[in-house]
Structure 1
Amino acid sequence: MRRYLPAPLRASLSRLKRRLARRVVRSAATADKYRYVFIVTYGRSGSTLLMSMLNTIPGYRINGENNNALYRLHQAGAAIDRASREHSGAEHQSARGAWYGMPRVEPRKFRQELVDSFVTHVLRPEPGDRVLGFKEIRYTKSDMPDLADFLRFLRGAFPHSKIIFNHRNVSDTAKSSWWARNERSVEKLKIADERLSAVAADKRHFHFYYDEIDDSLENIRALFRFLGEELDEAAVRRVLNTRHSPAPAKYAIDTPPAPREGSSAESRSSRQPQ
Structure 2
Amino acid sequence: MLSKIRGRKKPKTYGYVFVVTYGRSGSTLVQGLLNTLPRTLVRGENNMYLLHLFRAMHSVQAFRKTHLKHNPKASHSAFFGLNEITPASFVESTRTLVTGHLLGSVEPAEVDRLGFKEVLWHRIRPAETEAFFEFLDKTFPGCQFVLNERNHDKVVGSGFWQGQDEGEVMQAIRRVEEIQAFLRETRPDRVLDLRYELLTSEDQATSDAQLRSIAEFVTGSCDDALLDQLRETRKTGHGPYPFGKSRDRDKRRANASEES
TM norm structure 1: 0.71
Tell me what 1:209 maps to. Answer: 195
Corresponding residue to 2:93 among 88, 113, 117: 113
CA distance in 2 between counterparts of 1:104 and 1:119 reads 23
Tell me what 1:237 maps to. Answer: 231
Corresponding residue to 2:176 among 192, 207, 223: 192
CA contact (8 A) 2:34 2:214 kept: no
Cα gap change, 1:63/1:29 in structure 2, threshold over 3 Å: closer, same or farther? Answer: farther
Corresponding residue to 2:114 among 132, 148, 167: 132
Corresponding residue to 2:243 among 243, 246, 255: 246
Determine which structure has more spread, i.e. the larger CA radius of gyration. Answer: 1
- Post-superposition offset of 1:92: 4.7
- Greater per-residue helix proportion: 2
Tell me what 1:73 maps to. Answer: 53
CA distance in 2 between counterparts of 1:107 and 1:193 reads 29
- Post-superposition offset of 1:177: 0.8
Cα gap change, 1:158/1:44 in structure 2, threshold over 3 Å: closer, same or farther? Answer: same
CA contact (8 A) 2:102 2:115 kept: no
Query: What is the CA deviation profile of residues 69-119 of structure 1, one whole-angstrom value per residue up to 9, with x for unaligned ones?
Result: 222222222323333333212455557866443234344224312321221
- Post-superposition offset of 1:194: 3.2
Tell me what 1:225 maps to. Answer: 216
The DSSP-based 3-state class of the residue aligned with 1:84 is helix
CA distance in 2 between counterparts of 1:186 and 1:101 reads 45
Where in structure 2 are the equivalents of 1:1-274 lying within 5 Å? Answer: 30=11, 33-92=13-72, 99-124=79-104, 125-126=106-107, 127-140=109-122, 143-145=123-125, 146-183=128-165, 184=167, 185-200=169-184, 202-213=188-199, 214=201, 215-216=204-205, 217-227=208-218, 228-230=220-222, 232-244=226-238, 245-246=242-243, 268-270=247-249
- Post-superposition offset of 1:48: 0.3
CA distance in 2 between counterparts of 1:268 and 1:53 reads 20
The DSSP-based 3-state class of the residue aligned with 2:180 is helix
The DSSP-based 3-state class of the residue aligned with 2:160 is helix
CA contact (8 A) 2:27 2:148 kept: yes
CA contact (8 A) 1:240 1:246 kept: no
Unaligned runs of 5+ in 2: 1-8, 251-260
Unaligned runs of 5+ in 1: 1-27, 248-265
CA contact (8 A) 1:208 1:219 kept: yes
The DSSP-based 3-state class of the residue aligned with 1:89 is helix
Equivalent residue pairs, number: 224
Tell me what 1:263 maps to. Answer: none
Query: 200-209 or 103-112: which moved more?
Result: 103-112
Query: 60-69 or 238-247: which moved more?
Result: 238-247
Query: What is the CA deviation profile of residues 139-177 of structure 1, one whole-angstrom value per residue up to 9, with x for unaligned ones?
Result: 11xx22133322221111111321111111122101111
The DSSP-based 3-state class of the residue aligned with 2:141 is coil
- Post-superposition offset of 1:238: 1.2
Paired letter, 1:246: F
Let me know the Cα RMSD of the aligned residues. Answer: 2.7
Paired letter, 2:140: F
Query: 149-158 or 74-83: which moved more?
Result: 74-83
Cα gap change, 1:68/1:29 in structure 2, threshold over 3 Å: closer, same or farther? Answer: farther
Cα gap change, 1:29/1:55 in structure 2, threshold over 3 Å: closer, same or farther? Answer: farther
CA distance in 1 between counterparts of 2:94 and 2:115 reads 16
